[in-house]
Structure 1
Amino acid sequence: MTSARQTRDRLIRYAASVGLWVFGSLAADARSLETIIERGALTLCANPNALPFASKSGPVSGFQIELGEKIAEQIGVKLTREWVVSAIQYRRADCDLVLDTIARKDAPPEGGVKVSRPYHRSGVVLAVRSDSPLSSLAGLGPDQRVGVPVGSLVSMTLDKGGTLTSPFVFEDEIVAALANHEIEAAAVTPVTVGWFNQQHADKPLRLIPAFDNDSDLNWNIAAGLFRPDDKLRQRVDAAIETLLADGTITRIYARYGIELRPPQ
């Protein structure tokens, strides 16, 4: 049985990995492009145990680390890492950059955080087993359940529409339950499915774009910069433009089983 401490740590790891921390709590001073160039380093805050996002000692470094290195390279500096696993550590960390920040025009981040130009489109998809006949939510039988993150917006949306759901704390638990035939479908992010398929080629899951028309369940992904000056923000935007144009970001994501989707 999972202990309360393990549950807490996994919740922290998940929140950190998808860029959901309240950046207003970060204590670092504002950084200019000139300061970063003089220092010779761009500091990325990431979780040390949150693949496919990031890892300090895993078999691969994670796509956030790989992308951070490429952004730093474009600026002409090295990437340094601040490994954080708790809200307290985030508040104390000296971050310049946090990746996988949700970028929404109707809900800009607070606390002096500025987002870069978006480089990816994410959201919620419906995952099913590869041998499932399902092609939409409408095909679910009256007794078939969809696994959902507990307390999530998609959970409320499906419940309101009369779809039976089964709540889980973590997305990796949802896709594992799906693969084990405990549920019929899963409402999760494409990153979770892509990474699962990368690790379980013998029983891959299939994606159904069941929520594409719901703007609340789709969002752009960008780099979060803590109190950057205009020159730093412009340089990061230019770096991302270059890395998109030459296919670098596409290749990084593909190594983790993830398809890069153009932002909207």
Structure 2
Amino acid sequence: MTAITKRWRAAALALLAGAVLLSGPGRAEPPRPEAIDRSALRVCADPANLPFSDDKGGGFENRIAELLAEKLGVPVRYTWYPNSTGFLRMTLRARRCDLVMGIVAGADLVQNSNPYYRSGYVLVTRRDDKLDNLSSLADPRLKTLRLGITAGTPPANLAARDGLMAQARPYPLYVDSRYDSPGKQMIDDLAAKQIDVAVLWGPIAGYFAKAHGDTLVVAPLLNESRDTRLDFYITMGVRPGESDWKNRINGLIRENQDAISAILKEYGVPLLDARGQPML
């Protein structure tokens, strides 16, 4: 459905979108003594990857980092690096930062914090079309509609299974986020009636749909077969072996979960509860 490099988002979110980060090749380094800079919250992030982060502080991961830094009583200090191969190797593992936001739970190149949200892929439709009760790509109504879908993602595989690719418009997964935003383009195309349904990672869909006021409806894909993962827990990443720092981050997440969730909702992120149901 929150940074991670695009290749990792692709793998861990089954070839997504945020937001949807992989390190470059190489074996994990053996643990070294913790070397956390206590004078600032050092965060590594993409400088042009809304809604997740940007160098103007406009993303929800920026806002969450600011919240945590305030609780720690220190400023946020960023190391900017694009969402590309080698992100973790050149940032967290190089000890240029101490925290990376938006890591999918279970990622093996970092030590995961506890999750701070759960989201999934969604369907976005125009309110006037009265399709807001769509919740599955197997819905027969989709046979006659034009779909926008991110190439290589789990929903694309399901769309192919359900015979929907003939009327689908693919949007690229791998782009230079400084110049292209296929998630925004998909939502803008939906609003302009160039497509009828957008199938997209939730945090990206919710953010860009919100820019169109109440004209668009975001609905989680809830009724798909269990053999295709469509929702994910999102954590923060620290270096392997830095358990004290991970515990400190876990404490901050636990103590500030309501405030974190409020930021996510402000950005239109469709949140799911522990049972995978929408949080109101």
**Shared fold, TM over 0.5:** yes
Give TM-score, length-normalised by structure 2. Answer: 0.74
- Equivalent residue of 2:130, what SS? coil
- CA 1:141/1:51 → structure 2, altered by over 3 Å: closer, same or farther? closer
- Equivalent residue of 1:87, what SS? coil
Q: Which has the higher helix share?
A: 1
Q: Which amino acid aligns with 1:147?
A: G
The CA RMSD over aligned residues, in Å, is 2.9
Q: Distance in 2 between matches of 1:31 and 1:127?
A: 47
Partner of 1:49: 48
Q: How many aligned positions are there?
A: 240
Partner of 1:36: 36
- Equivalent residue of 2:119, what SS? strand
| Structure 1, gaps ≥5 residues long | 1-10
Q: What is the CA distance between 1:74 and its match in structure 2? A: 3.2
Q: Distance in 2 between matches of 1:178 and 1:56?
A: 28
Please tell me whether the aligned partners of residues 120 and 222 of structure 1 are also in contact (alpha carbons under 8 angstroms): yes
Please tell me whether the aligned partners of residues 121 and 218 of structure 1 are also in contact (alpha carbons under 8 angstroms): yes
Partner of 1:110: 108
Q: What is the CA distance between 1:194 and its match in structure 2? A: 2.0
Q: What is the CA distance between 1:89 and its match in structure 2? A: 6.0
Q: Distance in 1 between matches of 2:222 and 2:25?
A: 31
- Identity level (%): 27
Q: Distance in 2 between matches of 1:255 and 1:31?
A: 38
Match of 2:208 among 196, 206, 220: 196
Please tell me whether the aligned partners of residues 116 and 223 of structure 1 are also in contact (alpha carbons under 8 angstroms): yes
- CA 1:24/1:212 → structure 2, altered by over 3 Å: closer, same or farther? farther
**1:82-118 alpha-carbon deviations (Å, 9 max, x no partner):** 1111435653321311111111xxxx2223x111111
Q: Which amino acid aligns with 1:174?
A: M
Q: Distance in 2 between matches of 1:222 and 1:263?
A: 14
Match of 2:234 among 216, 221, 231: 221
| Structure 2, gaps ≥5 residues long | 1-5, 11-16, 173-181, 276-280
- Equivalent residue of 2:128, what SS? coil
Match of 2:259 among 248, 253, 257: 248
Q: Distance in 1 between matches of 2:128 and 2:18?
A: 30
Please tell me whether the aligned partners of residues 130 and 206 of structure 1 are also in contact (alpha carbons under 8 angstroms): yes
Q: Which amino acid aligns with 1:242?
A: E
Q: Which amino acid aligns with 1:156?
A: N
**1:26-72 alpha-carbon deviations (Å, 9 max, x no partner):** 98x8562xx436x4122111111122211213xx5311111112223
Partner of 1:166: 169
Give TM-score, length-normalised by structure 1. Answer: 0.78
- Equivalent residue of 1:192, what SS? helix
Q: Distance in 1 between matches of 2:274 and 2:76?
A: 25
